[in-house]
Structure 1
Amino acid sequence: MTAPDLAPPRTVGGVVAVWVVAALAAVAVGVLAPVEDRALWMPIALGACVVVAFVVQLAVGRSRGFIQRVAASALGALLVMGLIGVGFALSALIAA
């Protein structure tokens, strides 16, 4: 028999951790990939972030709100990577 959670653990940290991973991945793609290949590598990095989101939320071990947490992680990663990608695209236009 299991006891109910009296004070459930905070799950915001897992969502924010995926956003940080997305920011690091976007910066790594922007710095390491050639300008013409950045559009190819960004979706690959986003796919890796979605996998990281599933792993992080499964590691939390709570089933309540799982879909919402994974969705928030993936959507936030998409927005973070999109903003950083726009920054790199503008810098490529200015440098050209």
Structure 2
Amino acid sequence: MTAPDLAPPRTVGGVIAVWVVAALAAVVVGVFAPPETRALWMPVALGGCLIVAFCVQLALGRSRGFIERMSASVLGALLVMGFIGIGFGLSSLVAV
């Protein structure tokens, strides 16, 4: 028999950590990739965020709410990368 968690550890930190990794990955792609290949590299970076989210959630060691934490991590990473990608796309329209 296992003892129930009286005060389960917070798991929001793992989700937010994946969002931060997604923001960093989007900025790296936006800065270092040529403008014509940014759209090709963003899904690759999102796939990397999926792997990071999986590793972070497995490292937490809690099975309860795993699917919800994974979906929140990946959906949040998609939104963060999307907003940063929109910013880079709009900035490429402006002539310098």
Shorter-chain TM-score tier: over 0.9
The reply on whether 1:69 has 2:69 as its aligned counterpart is yes
Q: Hey, what does 1:87 align to over in structure 2?
A: 87
Aligned length: 96
Runs of at least 5 residues in structure 2 that lack an aligned partner in the other structure:
none
Which portions of structure 1, spanning 4 or more consecutive aligned residues, are displaced by more than 6 angstroms? none
Task: Give the TM-score, by structure 2 length.
Answer: 0.96
1:3: how far off?
2.5
User: 2:4 matched to 1:17?
Assistant: no
SS of the residue corresponding to residue 9 of structure 1 reads: coil
Per-residue CA distance 1:18-55 (angstroms, 9 max, x = gap): 00000000000000101111001000000000111110
Cα distance between partner residues in 1 of 2:22 and 2:92 = 21
Q: State the alpha-carbon separation in 2 of the partners of residues 24 and 2 from structure 1.
A: 40
Q: Equivalent residue of 1:95, what SS?
A: coil
For residues 95 and 51 of structure 2, the distance between their equivalents in structure 1, rounded to whole angstroms, comes to: 34
TM-score normalized by structure 1? 0.96
